[in-house]
Amino acid sequence: MASPSTRIDDGRDVDSDNSGPMREKLSVLIVDDELLVRKVHERLVSKLEVAKQVQTQTATNGKEALDLHLSGSSFDIILVDLQMPIMDGTEELRAMGVESMIVGVTSVDAGADKEAFMEAGLDECLAKPLTADKIKSLVETLEKNK
């Protein structure tokens, strides 16, 4: 079982585009039981020019994600694999009052189950593979809802 890891990339002092000042910090938790997916998603998020400081952490299942929150960590966005054999933790995180944007990531066609996933507490449901554009879109939604 992988331990949570933290990577911080120091930000760039440049506005990402002409739409306004870049946000100061973005923190993202990546919850997936697969090492490859955690590695790719962590790198994808770290390379985004959407904040002056981008911080990522990973967890291998919902229980680890819950433990992180119980230990005081908080995140702007939580990316959760919905097909993990051990709990994804969405309902539990919402029950704890976590206000992060919780985004379910699925490798199956989530069409039929999307409603059920959203009712469980997800803010959004995306299909793998995650791309830079998909994650940027999440950050834009985050900014709009501030």
Partner 1 sequence: MLGWGVEFLWAEMNRLLSLLFHQGVLDEQFLQLQQLQDESSPNFVSEVITIYFHESEKLLRNLRLLLMDRELSDYKKMEIHLNQMMGSSSSIGAKRVCNVCVAFRAASEQNNHAGCLRALELLEHEYCYLKNKLHELFQIEQQRALASGARYPAHQN
Q: Pick from 12, 25, 111, 129: which binds partner 1 (CB under 8 A)?
A: 129
What is the Cα 122 distance to its own chain's centre? 11
Residue 53 to residues 48, 81, 105, Cα–Cα distance (Å): 10, 24, 24
- Distance between CA atoms of 9 and 125, rounded to whole angstroms? 26
Residue 33 engages partner 1 in binding (rule: CB under 8 A): yes
Q: Least CB distance from residue 142 to partner 1, whole Å?
A: 22
Complex with partner 1: residue 116 or 132, whichever CB lies closer: 132
Choose the binding region for partner 1 from 27-35, 50-58, 93-101, 116-124 (rule: CB under 8 A).
27-35
Q: Pick from 21, 72, 85, 97: which binds partner 1 (CB under 8 A)?
A: 85
- Distance between CA atoms of 27 and 18, rounded to whole angstroms? 23
- Distance between CA atoms of 125 and 118, rounded to whole angstroms? 8
Would you tell me how many other CB atoms lie within 10 Å of the CB of residue 47?
Answer: 11
Nearest to 63 by CA among 82, 84, 86, 39: 86
Q: Pick from 29, 30, 32, 104: which binds partner 1 (CB under 8 A)?
A: 32
Choose the binding region for partner 1 from 26-34, 51-59, 63-71, 72-80 (rule: CB under 8 A).
26-34
Q: Pick from 6, 15, 25, 43: which binds partner 1 (CB under 8 A)?
A: 43
Residue ranges that bind partner 1, judged by CB under 8 A: 32-37, 39-41, 43-44, 47, 81, 83, 85, 107-108, 128-132
